[in-house]
Amino acid sequence: MTATKTNERPGTRAQLKYVRSSAYKVREVLNLIRGKSFFEATNILTFSERRISDTVLKCLNSAAANAENNDDIPVEELFVSACYADEGPTLKRWRPRARGRATRIRKRTCHITLILGRYSSEELTEQRERAELKGNQTQQSAAESRKRRVAKSKESELESQPEEVQSDEDPEAIVDEVEETPSEQEEIAEKSDTESEDTPYGEGSTFALEDGSAPSSDFTIKAKVSTKIYHPEESSFFGRTKADVWFTNAETAEAAGFRLPNSMQKDNDETEENQDDNDGENE
């Protein structure tokens, strides 16, 4: 009779490749969990003193997750049917030694493969009977325990929500008050809209007409919204600029965040300095 090959054995498998450890060290750990149930293998790997046991435990959990999600097999019915470690490529390095010599360093790698099989119904009943005789309860699957924790957290959130939402005021009374005066709210909104359209930058400001001219003779300051610069009548750019906004005076324009052109600012600074010099000479 020809025996089935290890790589052709049925079951759910998981594989880790290029593990930075020698195959010999991994095989020492795999020999401990071969043929054990999932929970027994997990306990052995958790309390093992070898460093590579953490990597083997990750591979075991991956295989169990594949069995639960892909094959719909609960964790209680799984056992380690096969596990082996194949040698991977070896990294070759050199170490300097005495008298100009060198020694080769071989850094081994390996590929870990775990195959989980499923207990038959007879084997499951035997295990449960043994657990009852020992006084131990059967362990639940990780997925079921996770579902129960999520359900409990959702229930606690639903219970805490009404306490936070409750307030001293009655919500029905608030709805009645809002429904009683809808016309007043509309009037207030319309007034605010019209005021904002007439005075875009507060009192003393208004939008220009389509051709850029002022709506009345009270507005004498031109301004461009894109550059935030205003031009009085004495400015050289006053006749060449098409205004977006008009202001009554320079103070309202500066209060709205607009400024004079750089050329006029320099002229103002020079005139102020000349006035200060004249005042000093007169004294």
Span 233-280, pLDDT tens digits: 777 777 777 788 888 888 888 888 888 887 777 666 666 666 666 665
Q: What are the tokens at 196? A: 């904002």
- The reported pTM is 0.47
| Whether the predicted pLDDT of 180 surpasses 50 | no
Distance from C-alpha of 58 to C-alpha of 17, rounded to nearest angstrom: 13
- Top pLDDT among 115 and 204 is at 115
Closest CA to 43 of 132, 112, 136, 130: 136
CB 244 within 8 A of CB 223: yes
**Domain range annotation of the chain:** 8-142, 196-282
Residues 6+ apart with CB under 8 A from 201: 245, 247, 252, 256, 257
Q: What is the pLDDT of residues 69-102, one digit of tens each?
A: 998 899 888 999 999 999 999 999 999 999 999 9
Confidence label for 2 from pLDDT (cuts 50, 70 and 90) = low
Distance from C-alpha of 224 to C-alpha of 230, rounded to nearest angstrom: 6
Dihedral (CA of 244, 250, 255, 260) sign: positive
Section 181-200 average pLDDT: 57
Distance from C-alpha of 209 to C-alpha of 196, rounded to nearest angstrom: 16
CB 61 within 8 A of CB 105: no
Confidence label for 183 from pLDDT (cuts 50, 70 and 90) = low
Question: Amino acid letter at 59?
Answer: C
Section 163-176 average pLDDT: 49
Distance from C-alpha of 47 to C-alpha of 116, rounded to nearest angstrom: 21
Distance from C-alpha of 15 to C-alpha of 22, rounded to nearest angstrom: 16
The per-residue pLDDT for 42 is 94
The per-residue pLDDT for 271 is 64
Taking CA atoms, 70 is separated from 58, 64, 146, 186, 187, in Å, by 18, 10, 18, 60, 64
Ramachandran region, residue 18 (left: φ > 0; alpha: ψ -120 to 50; beta: rest): left
Q: What is the pLDDT of residues 117-159, one digit of tens each?
A: 999 888 888 888 887 777 654 455 455 666 677 788 888 877 7
Confidence label for 178 from pLDDT (cuts 50, 70 and 90) = very low
The per-residue pLDDT for 177 is 46
The per-residue pLDDT for 197 is 57
Residue with tokens 């319309």: 190
| Whether the predicted pLDDT of 6 surpasses 60 | yes
The per-residue pLDDT for 173 is 44
The per-residue pLDDT for 281 is 58
CB 214 within 8 A of CB 231: no
The per-residue pLDDT for 174 is 45
Q: Which CATH architecture has domain 8-142?
A: Alpha-Beta Complex (3.90)
Taking CA atoms, 36 is separated from 16, 87, 139, 166, in Å, by 20, 24, 15, 55
Angle at 234 between CA 217 and CA 208, to 5 degrees: 40
The per-residue pLDDT for 176 is 47
CB 116 within 8 A of CB 59: no
N-terminal to C-terminal alpha carbon distance within the chain: 126
Q: What is the pLDDT of residues 47-69, one digit of tens each?
A: 999 999 999 999 999 999 999 99
